[in-house]
Amino acid sequence: MFKSRSNQKELLDQEEIPAGDLYQNLRELDFINNWLGGYAVSFAALKKIIPSGSAGKSYTLVDIGCGGGDTLKRISKWAKRTGLQLDLYGIDIKPVCIDYARSNVKNAQVRFICDDYRNFFKHIPKADIIHACLFCHHLTENELVDLIRFALTNKSTLVINDLERNPLAYYSIKWLTRLFSRSYLVKNDAPLSVLRGFKKKEWKSIIEKSGAARYSVYNKWAFRHEVIIYGNTE
């Protein structure tokens, strides 16, 4: 079952999820991502694409499929520690996620938008960086090609932090969530997310179909991929 991506939809992709169940899911996902070092993949990618000596210059970053805003909260703290000036936006199509995010990220300079990511230029004039953390495995291959082309058309650098489809990752997260999770969404979706994840060669194939000229794909701890499709950041 690891030879090709699963087409099974996650419970999180359903239209109606009780708010309390979704909030429990978001809290546990933040803990898992932090504990396994998942946020570090995004920090490393941002350091690669923002030129050294850029103090005083501001960059606009939009996190698509932002969920509860935890990734943006972590990026905001990291940017302050490293002296980077980032104007941060989060966009998610689910109103319940945006409601949670606005409460969750009250003390950080982050603005949230409830809409499809393809509409965010109706809300803001530009995005130097489009960031997608654990969002792309929810998309089909054609939707991923469209996402890359969307970024390139709008001269944005696309940073993707997502899962590697790997047997060890699958069985590890399956047993860990079975033992410690209180969320039926996490128990179902965490291992399924791995099955919907990618192989490195699949990323390269998807990117080449998009027509992107400059990109990089790296394997990262733990069972992650750091994908950068370069736009006009540099």
Residue 215: give its domain's CATH number. Answer: 3.40.50.150
Percent of the chain at pLDDT above 90? 88
Whether the predicted pLDDT of 32 surpasses 70: yes
Whether the predicted pLDDT of 211 surpasses 90: yes
Query: Is 198 among the domain residues?
Result: yes
Report CA-CA distances (Å) from 182 to 14, 64, 168. Answer: 19, 26, 22
HEC string of 67-99 equals CCCHHHHHHHHHHHHHCCEEEEEEEECCHHHHH
Q: What is the pLDDT of residues 4-16, one digit of tens each?
A: 999 999 999 998 8
pLDDT, residue 8, reads 96
Query: Is 139 among the domain residues?
Result: yes
Whether the predicted pLDDT of 1 surpasses 90: no
pLDDT, residue 55, reads 64
Confidence of residue 51 (pLDDT cuts 50, 70, 90): confident
pLDDT, residue 233, reads 46
Say which range, 4-8, 54-58, 201-205, has the weakest mean pLDDT.
54-58
pLDDT, residue 108, reads 76
**Contacts of residue 66, Cβ cutoff 8 Å, sequence gap at least 6:** 72, 90, 91, 92, 97, 101, 112
d(CA 32, CA 136): 18
Q: pTM higher than 0.85, yes or no? A: yes
b/e code 116-146 from CB counts within 10 Å (16+ = b): ebeebeeeeeebbbbbbbbbbbbbeeeebbe
**Number of domains within the chain:** 1
Query: Is 16 among the domain residues?
Result: no
User: At 77, which amino acid appears?
Assistant: K
Q: What is the pLDDT of residues 121-152, one digit of tens each?
A: 999 999 999 999 999 999 999 999 999 999 99
Distance of alpha carbon 213 from the chain centroid: 22
d(CA 53, CA 179): 46
Query: Is 87 among the domain residues?
Result: yes
Query: Is 89 among the domain residues?
Result: yes
Query: Is 3 among the domain residues?
Result: no
pLDDT, residue 234, reads 47
d(CA 4, CA 195): 8
d(CA 98, CA 104): 10
For 162-186, what is the mean pLDDT? 96
pLDDT, residue 190, reads 97
Query: Is 15 among the domain residues?
Result: no
Q: Contact at 8 Å (CB) between 130 and 157? A: yes
**Structural domain of residue 76, as residue ranges?**
22-229
pLDDT, residue 114, reads 98
Query: Is 14 among the domain residues?
Result: no
d(CA 137, CA 133): 9
Backbone phi and psi for residue 198, each to the nearest 5 degrees, phi listed first: -130, 160
Question: Is-cis flag, bond preceding 222, omega within 30?
Answer: yes
